[in-house]
Every structure is written in C-alpha cells, then in structure tokens.
Copies of this chain bind each other. A is one copy, B any other.
Amino acid sequence: MANISDVAKLSGLSKTTVSRVINNHPYVSDKKRELVLKAMKELGYTPNPSARRLRGQLTTTIGVIVPKIVNPFFASLVNSIELAAYKKGHQVLISQSNEDKEKELAFLNLLKTKQVDGIIMTSIENDWEMIEAYSKYGSILLCNDYVDQEVVPMIRLDQTKGAYLGAKHLIERGHQKIAYCTGGLFDEHGKGKDRNQGFQKALSEVGMKINPKWIFVDQHTVEDGKQVMKQILEMDDRPTAIFTGSDEVAGGIIIEAKEQHLTIPNDLAIIGFDDQPIAEIVDPKLTTIRQPVDQMGEKSIEVMIEMLENREMKIKNYELPIELIIRQST
C-alpha cells in the first residue's frame, strides 16, 4: 500500500506538499498540485485514516448505534442516516447494542479513540451520567430516544402527541375499553413515558380510565403480539380496542386475532406505531402513527455535522412532525 512518502518521491516533491494537496490547503502552485495528483492516481494512493486519526482531527466517519438491526424501524432509520451522511461525504459505521449496556459503552469507546467523530444514538441503554462521560471525546447526538434534561442535542418526535392522536382516534371510533401495549414500562419515569402520558391525556379528557389489567409492558415483537392476544382472549372483561407501541406487536395481535376468528376492527380495533412496511402487509392494513424516518436521518446528519464543525455549539432540540395514518384496523 502506497503511502505519502511514495507519492512525494514519485512526484519529486516533499511530503508536506503532498499533504497540502490532500487537504486542499492554499499556497500550492497549480503545477505542483497537478504533479501530486498524477502521482497519487498512478500509485492508487489512499490516505491512511489510522494515521490521520492518530495525528488528530476529523475522520469523516460517524457512528450509529441501534438496539437491534433486525427491527425494521431501526433498519430504515439507519438507512436514512447512511444515505444522508454519504451525500455529505461521511462514512457511517453501524453497530447494534442488542440492548446491552456493555456493548453500548464499547461502541462509545470509538469516540475516546477517535475512530469516529461523533455518534448518533438511536437508543440509550445506560444512564445518561455514564454516557455523558464520553461526550468530552466527541459529539453525541440522540435521535429517536432522548433524555429528560437538555444536556445533549436531540432529534425527537412528539411521542406524547402521537400517542394522544392514536388514543383519541380510538375514542372517536366509539371505544370505551382500550388496552395499552408498550415496548417500555407504564410509569411516570420509565421508558416510553411520553406515550403513556399522551395516551392517558386522551382518556382523561373524556373521563375514561384504563383498566390496569389491560396494560402490557415490554412488548416488542410479532410473537409478543400474539401472546398479548392470547391473554386478552382469556379475560372475562375484554377491551374492544388496543393501542400498541409498535407495528410489529400490532401485527402479531392481528394475526392471532384472525387465528381465533375475531373480526377486525369490529370485534377488536388495533392501532400500531411507526408506520413500517408491515403496516401495509397485514390484513386488514394497520392504522398507525407515522414516524418520519427519512426526515429523522437527514436532520440527524445535518445537526451532527454542525456539531462537528462547531464543537461549542449551543445545545438545541429538534422536533419532527408525527402523524396518524388511518387504514383498516380501526
């Protein structure tokens, strides 16, 4: 592999001049620039990023951490981030934490060691205090997930509003008995609390209260959805509608409901979250709350690059629109 010295030798110039050409510095005569460029091409030269990193400064590489890449929501989010970054000349390194605190920290270590300029976190597993320690080594941006204090730039959606819209929609369809199914917990402070709030707000506006038996926490997959449906079927007092935190879970509920010969939405109305491809695959098609994945990716990269160019940037949060998509399941 050719290095900068080889290029210098072949072009008959110094390493410094070559370096200047590589980095588009001024004060290089056009003639010599040509010479260098020619030599670079001839040798198939690529600057060695490890050396550049070691030396300091930028890597034009951005890390993205997702909990699970097999989750279609995160796959499409990663996709949109990657495309946006590529347009701006940045490479993207992806890693999945598998919801494991250790792995999350291992990936953040890339910052410490300057392998990436910044990291976009789409989920956060450790306490913020843990993660904050890494922010002095590089830029951290939260996209999708978030923390309560305004201590780091965040790209987020008004989850409260999204859940509110969904719940209200069910109420307007005449439902009085609505179950709630979340990937997080159902309390004031845990994961997914915004959605909880939005949901409860819609209910309390019309004087409704949720039956605690109809709350399902920590549900993520199609399989989880099927299990939820089975549990509901065994209840004496069944809900007539289900609000879920993911299209996957909603899809599972629909599949199992049909298996049990329930008619949707007549016997049971279901609403999803995310507007993933599965929403249009299941039959009946899923009413859901759309998260604007493409915008999230683009905004993340935009803000990340801004952060990199200006390390002392003021911390700002960005909120993207969230929207109810009505299909056949409600």
Contacts of A79 in B (CB 8 A): 68-70, 96
**A1 and B109 form a contact (CB under 8 A):** no
Distance between Cα atoms of A54 and B52 in the complex (Å): 10
Contacts of A49 in B (CB 8 A): 50, 113, 115
Q: Does A325 contact B (CB under 8 A)?
A: no
Residue-wise, chain A 39-83 has the 8 Å CB interface mask toward B (1 for contact) of 000000011111101100000000000001110100110110011
Distance between Cα atoms of A76 and B69 in the complex (Å): 8
Q: Closest Cβ of chain B: how far from A230's Cβ, in Å?
A: 16
**A91 and B96 form a contact (CB under 8 A):** no
Q: Does A84 contact B (CB under 8 A)?
A: no
Within 8 A of B (CB), among A95-140: 95-96, 98, 103, 106, 109, 112-115, 137
**B82 and A50 form a contact (CB under 8 A):** no
Query: Which 6 interchain pairs have the tightest Cβ spacing?
Result: A50-B53, A94-B94, A50-B50, A50-B54, A93-B93, A48-B113
Within 8 A of B (CB), among A156-181: none
Q: Does A255 contact B (CB under 8 A)?
A: yes
Q: Does A12 contact B (CB under 8 A)?
A: no
Distance between Cα atoms of A202 and B145 in the complex (Å): 51
